[in-house]
Structure 1
């Protein structure tokens, strides 16, 4: 008999205590290899794939997609060792071809018969996973799928289910799954219009519209109940309800805490960015074999910020209210706001004070791509000391950003647009940008904040000032 081992949701670090199941990467009956990712979860920091430390046959899964599990809760059980296939189904490898009842070792390699083509993830190629139904291993019932009703490992092995294991839903995008969960749609009831029956976002949206337009029977009024059109004091407001979980929930908590705890103030200034844009064009236009990657405007602004923080270190600090101390931090871990399909995230460029514009730009590009694909590690989203927010990409000129708690300041950058400007005593059309600094008034007064912002504006208008710090 195989040994059944239980795999629990591991500690994902950074003080995280729970995670939400986004999608399962394996089905009951799949053969998994050691350290193979089996589930994709979303924490308050990032989306991560969780590898299983055991190799064998998946016998049960605990938790449906969308379920939040605490660290230490059962994820799945794996039968490790030799198993006996049921019926005519056999495994390739040792014992294959010996007929029904022949012992075989579960082979994680995607070879031989019994493979199922499953498409998962965004941009990832389809993965062939081995499906096997060993004698005595059954699919989990609906009650076993919930972490609060998890069966013991021995019961999962000995139970015999009458139903066959359900195959994976033909959905590639996690966003489609999320949209269906938000509207309580069963994806298995939808017919996909994509290739090979793939369920697309348009299919889900069409189903949502169909449900919304369907006639709804009037509820019966019981004695003592409120008449139609008059909601009781405990009635919930109508409308779409979106759970504040994962990254969105963490952002909501942090912003609310920032507003509660930080007495912030904002100052702003318009700056002539014509020379900065010309300097960037000259950098990126230099050819030759030694030419490096293109330098972005955000990278140049980040380099300007590190130079400004060296002059005004009080803005690279945090407040310890328990000790009633301002803690000035020696390293600049520069966060930058990145809008993704999963919401706003703030990746962090470590030790930005030691990097030049090219190095900062390369790291920003790497972190941005990881944010878009949902592969940022929790450590890449924490520990920031100052944040740069380029809201100009949304076509707006100004903003009063909320400080990223527990930091002390955030620089906001609007769009760079041609405007009439007095240049060298004459009216001219120049490239103008609005810069705004929101700062914690506990760490400094307006003089330091204004000095920081003015230095940043001066460097934008005269990039040669940065030569002093190179």
Structure 2
């Protein structure tokens, strides 16, 4: 007999609690192998392809593209075992809960960011068929309906993925919690005065999706009334989840403007920058530097053959040398212990603008890399950032950030420190300007450097010494020979 196993959204690490479905890589009825990627999701850190630990036939998918799911929510079900192919078309669901043939319980043994795909449990409860009142489904698929046109009664959840909520298990909402796809959706409804009990969800088993709440808010705005229904028993018909744009936040109309939800990368950046402003007493100092000799040195390096050296790599090498002289700026503050922790390794973050928003990839052990190694690592991480394939580990753990905002054609900036770091070096554009060189007025390649630092870790003298050393290395690259 075939066995239906439920695969849930795994813990993606780094404290992430939810992810948005970007693209399904399999359809109901497809045959999947162990560790085959089945869905691409976006977290607040990166885009991740999630592999399935089971091999067999996909019998159901949960959630449309664009839907946010919490960690532990069902992603799909897979029929495994000798009769898996039959199980894919068995609409009754009977007999699918028993353990399969010997050997079908082997997991992949691989790990996805802390998620181990071990052997499945010894027994799984049977997946019950949908009651007659539920919309018709093909085979044993419990995939979310895509086009509900009228309110429907909540459907009793299958025992394979019940969340333990009493009201949800009973199939009625009563006075208990309303089944909602994620806490963010519940908060969206609460902030807009929307009673979730007046909605009928379009998700599996009546689950309320973000699209349902947004549709109700749009409908309320269009009717010129508040989102709170005026009739106690009125229900708002939910829009199908498939009607939402899968790869972009759905705007919610509001008087005088448009609401755009802060989620994914933009939401994570907003939270981090807000925390930085709240907790870090920052200050900024800046200086103009003559980068002519640095540009000539780079030209000479690249003319000598071998891999090309990027300007960012040379600036990073200067940063690591400066941090060796001023280690106070390579630190973090533990306010609970009231301690400043100076860090032994330099994990250098660099700001990268992508279509998904601002991300800060981290070059591990930057202090131990030469210019060629830094150039190669910057190129690799930049390409991964543009493709959206950076892992959470590549986006966290930085100790100092280099921000080359000159690529946007601006001279200066006062950047916000990347919490919990203690400093950030900003580099403006390098442009020809009049400059006094060896006592005479000349046209030189000038750059503005700025340092934003946490005033708890050092005073202005230390910050100024760091920035002056960086400027000296830019103006006279031979200064770096002292630290090589």
- TM-score, structure 1 length as denominator? 0.70
Name 1:413's counterpart in structure 2: 427
Alignment of 1:69-218 (within 5 A): 69-81=69-81, 82-83=83-84, 136-138=139-141, 140-142=143-145, 151-153=158-160
8 Å CA contact retained: 2:29, 2:88: no
Cα distance per residue 1:118-170 (max 9 Å; x no partner): xxxxxxxxxxxxxxxx994346242999xx98534499xxxxxxxxxxxxxxx
Alignment of 1:320-399 (within 5 A): 320-399=334-413
- Per-residue deviation, 1:276: 0.1
Name 1:232's counterpart in structure 2: none
Is 1:270 matched with 2:255? Answer: no
Call closer, same or farther: CA 1:366–1:220 in 2, change over 3 Å.
closer
8 Å CA contact retained: 2:362, 2:394: yes
Matches of 2:84 and 2:454 in 1, distance apart?
A: 63
Is 1:13 matched with 2:13? Answer: yes
- Per-residue deviation, 1:317: 0.4
Name 2:456's counterpart in structure 1: 442
Is 1:61 matched with 2:61? Answer: yes
Cα distance per residue 1:173-230 (max 9 Å; x no partner): xxxxxxxxxxxxxxxxxxxxxxxxxxxxxxxxxxxxxxxxxxxx984789xx9xxxxx
Call closer, same or farther: CA 1:338–1:53 in 2, change over 3 Å.
same
Call closer, same or farther: CA 1:220–1:435 in 2, change over 3 Å.
closer
Residue aligned with 1:332, SS: coil
The unaligned stretches of length 5 or more in structure 1 are 89-105, 107-133, 156-216, 226-234
Matches of 2:278 and 2:267 in 1, distance apart?
A: 17
Matches of 2:224 and 2:138 in 1, distance apart?
A: 51
Matches of 2:319 and 2:15 in 1, distance apart?
A: 30
Name 2:134's counterpart in structure 1: none
Bigger mean CA offset, 25-34 vs 299-308: 25-34
Name 1:246's counterpart in structure 2: 264
Residue aligned with 1:137, SS: coil
Matches of 1:218 and 1:386 in 2, distance apart?
A: 49
Residue aligned with 1:58, SS: strand
Call closer, same or farther: CA 1:86–1:439 in 2, change over 3 Å.
closer
Is 1:309 matched with 2:323? Answer: yes
Name 1:37's counterpart in structure 2: 37
8 Å CA contact retained: 1:143, 1:150: no
Matches of 1:330 and 1:467 in 2, distance apart?
A: 22
Matches of 1:260 and 1:375 in 2, distance apart?
A: 31
Matches of 1:320 and 1:312 in 2, distance apart?
A: 19
Matches of 2:161 and 2:74 in 1, distance apart?
A: 14
Name 2:125's counterpart in structure 1: none
8 Å CA contact retained: 1:398, 1:414: yes
The unaligned stretches of length 5 or more in structure 2 are 90-103, 105-136, 149-154, 163-220, 230-252
8 Å CA contact retained: 1:62, 1:144: no
Call closer, same or farther: CA 1:383–1:219 in 2, change over 3 Å.
closer
Bigger mean CA offset, 409-418 vs 64-73: 64-73
Cα distance per residue 1:383-437 (max 9 Å; x no partner): 0000000000000000000000000000000000000100000010000000000
Matches of 1:286 and 1:87 in 2, distance apart?
A: 63
8 Å CA contact retained: 1:319, 1:443: yes
- Per-residue deviation, 1:294: 0.7
Call closer, same or farther: CA 1:347–1:84 in 2, change over 3 Å.
closer
Call closer, same or farther: CA 1:275–1:242 in 2, change over 3 Å.
same
Residue aligned with 2:333, SS: strand
Count of residue correspondences: 348
Call closer, same or farther: CA 1:446–1:218 in 2, change over 3 Å.
closer
8 Å CA contact retained: 1:62, 1:150: no
Matches of 1:408 and 1:319 in 2, distance apart?
A: 8
8 Å CA contact retained: 1:306, 1:332: yes
- Per-residue deviation, 1:70: 1.5
Call closer, same or farther: CA 1:84–1:272 in 2, change over 3 Å.
closer
8 Å CA contact retained: 2:351, 2:360: yes
8 Å CA contact retained: 1:83, 1:135: no
